[in-house]
Amino acid sequence: MSGYLPIAFTTKMKSLLGEEFDRFMSSYEDPRVYGIRINRLKIDAEDWKNLSPMGDTVRPIPWAPDGYYYEEGARPGKHPHYHAGLYYIQEPSAMAPVELLDVQPGHRVLDLCAAPGGKSTQIAGKLQGSGVLVSNDNARERTKALAKNIELAGVRNAVVLNEEPSALAPVFRGWFDRILVDAPCSGEGMFRKDESMIAEWEKHSIERCSAMQRHILRDAAAMLAPGGVLVYSTCTFSPEENEAQIAELLAEYPDFEVLPVPHQYGWKPGNPDWAGEAGRDLTGGQLASLAGTVRLWPHHIEGEGHYAAVLTRKGTRTEDAEPVVSETALLDADAGKRKKLKGNAGAAMRAAEKKGGRGTKDSGKLHRTVINGKHAGKGQVEPVDAAALWHVFAERELSELFEGTGNVQCFGSRVYLQPEGLPSLDGLRVVRAGWYVGEAGKHKFEPSQALAMGLQQREAALSLDFSSADPNVIRYLKGETLFVDAGQMKAGGDLPQPLKGYVLVCTDGYPIGWGKYSGDGMLKNELPAGWRWM
């Protein structure tokens, strides 16, 4: 395929790579490699290997503990485990930046250019449900795939935004412990994987991408807490989009410095000679530090290629950015204050509490967001009703083992559990305000697919589990009604009587969606159209 590469590209690569150029070019004739990353929110990599028919055929990706190369033709997207969110299909070198980000449970993490969500789901796996993930992308259409991938992975502690970084910077100034800028780029590392990128390269000039990256990086820098870590990455080779971007940032922000990346797995150092004009404004030490950034070249590793720089902002976090509570009314979740809830909502919640149920089990605060504008349409139930109906649903259909964390946030009839401690998101374009658990109708609550995917089987009051080899799984994933024997039903506690209501449908013990059992053997399929097997 090297014959199809633009001459301007090969000429430039020759001048950059010198004697390595021939090896670089021959990598375009090598077979493509394919990667999957096991979703540790759901399953441990070893357990997945034991469970999966692919388990014996995969090879570890050296830099990603949950990453594996799989063989061409394995078609992991066509297996029920994919629909259970047990793994994400991801290009192997694209797994490197999050490994470098050093995410720990409890961190506040921003993935600024996140769609379609490969790295966001990787970050979520590292957070293990503790802390906050803010996933943002400025392309509205792309945030749909981002939200879906986050939901498929069963992430409970993410919000998804659709904003320009400049709109986020004033809200989250100095707030994040970790920031990933996986920047839009000219995509030179994608030419082998996706030949359409070659035409794109000719349209998206390197200058235009560099200008975008410069702006995005400045806003990202403003949002990093002192002592925090920012990883900048691209899947392109051009120095203007890599070393030169970091050189400019260092020149402009003396409180940022490069944290050197160890050169292992065939990773090569960044090149200080490629710092461009900004290199002249750097001290000798700063310039040399660019060698601590890293290049994944396709002729040195099994992967398409990437660049990554790990930066820290000097200092330690002294004070937390206080959440701005403006249009958000906070209601303490103690029983006395909840009695103030009016009408059906209060009655429903008090009823739930009387039964010793979930209403009383909520931790933290119940946030009642004052909703206006496009979210709260005419004729929709009051937000507070939606919250109460969620509590009633959780009481009936989830088991005692369910531990919903976060604040209940209602946008019209839609209910979210939002990670705690976030600043107000008022005025931002919010795609998901947290874990979307469902939607309230006039008298009942419809659980979401995102709720199903974020649960464990034992957290549902009623569930069904089919082996992934059972034809019922594909039937279910195709949207068909199933006929089931009541004896197959499993309960998170005592089997509810009568045996009816929402059933969490699972394969090999991992949820794939909801069904509704009416007691006569028929399981109505609740899988949304956009989630079905194609």
Would you call the peptide bond into 6 cis, given omega within 30 degrees of 0 as the criterion? no
Token pair for 521 = 């053997």
Question: Hunting for tokens 């590469």 — which residue is that?
Answer: 5
Report in angstroms how near the CB of residue 294 gets to ligand SAM at its nearest: 17
Strand-pair partners of 415: 410, 438
Choice from 22, 30, 164, 332 touching ligand SAM (CB under 6 A)? 164
Residues in Cβ contact with 335 at an 8 Å cutoff, skipping those fewer than 6 apart = 353, 360
| 94 versus 258: smaller Cβ distance to ligand SAM | 94
**Amino acid (1-letter code) at residue 128:** Q
Which of helix, strand or coil describes residue 497?
Answer: coil
| 167 versus 474: smaller Cβ distance to ligand SAM | 167
By CB under 6 A, the count of residues binding ligand SAM is 19
* CB 532, CB 477: distance < 8 Å: yes
Residues in Cβ contact with 114 at an 8 Å cutoff, skipping those fewer than 6 apart = 120, 135, 136, 137, 146, 160, 180, 182
Report in angstroms how near the CB of residue 483 gets to ligand SAM at its nearest: 39
Q: How do beta strands 482-483 and 435-440 pair? A: unpaired
431 near ligand SAM (CB under 6 A): no
Using CB under 6 A as the criterion, what x/- string covers residues 40-79 for binding ligand SAM?
----------------------------------------
Using CB under 6 A as the criterion, what x/- string covers residues 348-387 for binding ligand SAM?
----------------------------------------
Check residue 461 and report its DSSP letter. S
Q: Which stretch binds ligand SAM (CB under 6 A): 116-124, 249-257, 275-283, 517-525?
A: 116-124
320 near ligand SAM (CB under 6 A): no
| 241 versus 382: smaller Cβ distance to ligand SAM | 241
296 near ligand SAM (CB under 6 A): no
Q: Which stretch binds ligand SAM (CB under 6 A): 79-87, 135-143, 201-209, 262-270?
A: 135-143
Strand-pair partners of 81: none
Residues in Cβ contact with 155 at an 8 Å cutoff, skipping those fewer than 6 apart = 41, 120, 121, 124, 133, 435, 454
| 139 versus 499: smaller Cβ distance to ligand SAM | 139
Choice from 115, 333, 392, 523 touching ligand SAM (CB under 6 A)? 115
Report in angstroms how near the CB of residue 361 gets to ligand SAM at its nearest: 36
Residues from 462 through 491 that contact ligand SAM (CB under 6 A): none
212 near ligand SAM (CB under 6 A): yes
Which of helix, strand or coil describes residue 328?
Answer: strand
Please enumerate, by residue number, every residue annotated as part of a binding site for S-adenosyl-L-methionine: 113-119, 137, 182
H or E, element range at 145:
helix 140-152
Quote the strand ranges of 453-494, DSSP E.
Answer: 462-466, 482-483, 490-491
35 near ligand SAM (CB under 6 A): no
State yes or no: is 209 an active-site residue.
no
Residues from 82 through 111 that contact ligand SAM (CB under 6 A): 94
37 near ligand SAM (CB under 6 A): no
* CB 431, CB 411: distance < 8 Å: no
Q: Which of 369, 471, 350, 496 is nearest to 424 (CA)?
A: 369
| 13 versus 139: smaller Cβ distance to ligand SAM | 139
Catalytic site residue from 185, 235, 410, 506: 235
Choice from 54, 113, 249, 460 touching ligand SAM (CB under 6 A)? 113
| 108 versus 306: smaller Cβ distance to ligand SAM | 306
116 near ligand SAM (CB under 6 A): yes
In degrees, rounded to 5, the angle at the alpha carbon of residue 366 between the alpha carbons of residues 361 and 371 is 145
118 near ligand SAM (CB under 6 A): yes
| 114 versus 433: smaller Cβ distance to ligand SAM | 114
Q: Which of 360, 322, 331, 403 is nearest to 130 (CA)?
A: 403
Please enumerate, by residue number, every residue annotated as part of a binding site: 113-119, 137, 182
Which of helix, strand or coil describes residue 164?
Answer: coil
Kindly provide the b/e burial profile for residues 231-240, where b requires at least 16 CB atoms within 10 angstroms of the residue's own CB. bbbbbbbbbb
Using CB under 6 A as the criterion, what x/- string covers residues 166-205 for binding ligand SAM?
----------------x-x---------------------
Q: Which of 414, 408, 424, 417 is nearest to 366 (CA)?
A: 408
Report in angstroms how near the CB of residue 143 gets to ligand SAM at its nearest: 9
Choice from 80, 92, 131, 165 touching ligand SAM (CB under 6 A)? 165
| 148 versus 358: smaller Cβ distance to ligand SAM | 148
* H-assigned helices in 20-73: 21-26, 45-51
In degrees, rounded to 5, the angle at the alpha carbon of residue 121 between the alpha carbons of residues 119 and 127 is 105
Provide the binding-site residues for ligand SAM, judged by CB under 6 A. 94, 112-119, 137-139, 142, 164-165, 182, 184, 212, 216
Which residues are known catalytic residues? 235
